[in-house]
């Protein structure tokens, strides 16, 4: 029980720090959390607004509006499907790709990314453990 309380405290504190830092970063980039979620969805390849909407758990109309704003900022582009003109694909623009390349040249970012990757991995393990425990007790 002591470890669970310690974990809860650390997660709460980490969440507060993360929220503060990410809020500042988003303010400098003129992005919202929802827009970041959309960009994360298309980082590995184009998706339809319907697919994005389901993945980020937002209404289709809200997702479409967010994509409109991202498109105005030249962060995403819409492409009509070659076989079915009714289908519209959303994909990242070169502006996103180039931005990631510029950041990765800075040495401290590599260290931060490594530590962030470790934290993400640990959180996945933690999530799996508690999901398993929840299923076992249900």
Whether the pLDDT of residue 101 is over 60: the answer is no
Q: Could you give the number of structural domains in the chain?
A: 1
Host domain of residue 123: 106-138
Where does residue 23 rank: exposed (0-12), middle (13-18), buried (19+ CB within 10 A)?
exposed
Does residue 18 belong to any structural domain of this protein? no
* CA-derived radius of gyration, the chain: 19
Bridge partners of residue 48, in order along the sequence: 89
Q: pLDDT tens-digit profile of 37-58?
A: 999 999 989 999 999 999 999 9
Residue range 9-19, pLDDT digits in tens: 888 888 887 77
pLDDT at position 133: 81
User: Model's pTM, two decimal places?
Assistant: 0.61
- Domain assignment of residue 113, yes or no: yes
Q: Residue 7 falls within a domain, yes or no?
A: no
Q: What is the pLDDT of residues 114-134, one digit of tens each?
A: 777 788 888 888 888 888 888
Over range 6-27, report the average pLDDT: 80
């Amino acid at each position: 029980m002591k470890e669970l309380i310690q974990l809860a405290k650390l997660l709460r504190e980490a969440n507060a720090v993360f929220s503060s830092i990410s809020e500042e970063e988003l303010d400098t980039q003129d992005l919202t959390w929802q827009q970041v979620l959309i960009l994360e969805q298309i980082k590995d390849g184009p998706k339809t607004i319907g697919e994005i909407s389901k993945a980020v758990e937002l209404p289709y109309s809200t997702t479409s509006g967010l994509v409109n704003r991202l498109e105005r900022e030249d962060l995403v582009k819409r492409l009509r499907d070659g076989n079915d003109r009714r289908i519209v694909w959303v994909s990242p623009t070169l502006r996103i790709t180039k931005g990631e390349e510029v950041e990765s040249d800075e040495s401290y970012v590599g260290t931060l990314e490594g530590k962030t990757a470790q934290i993400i991995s640990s959180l996945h393990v933690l999530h799996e453990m508690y999901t398993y425990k929840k299923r076992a007790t249900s």
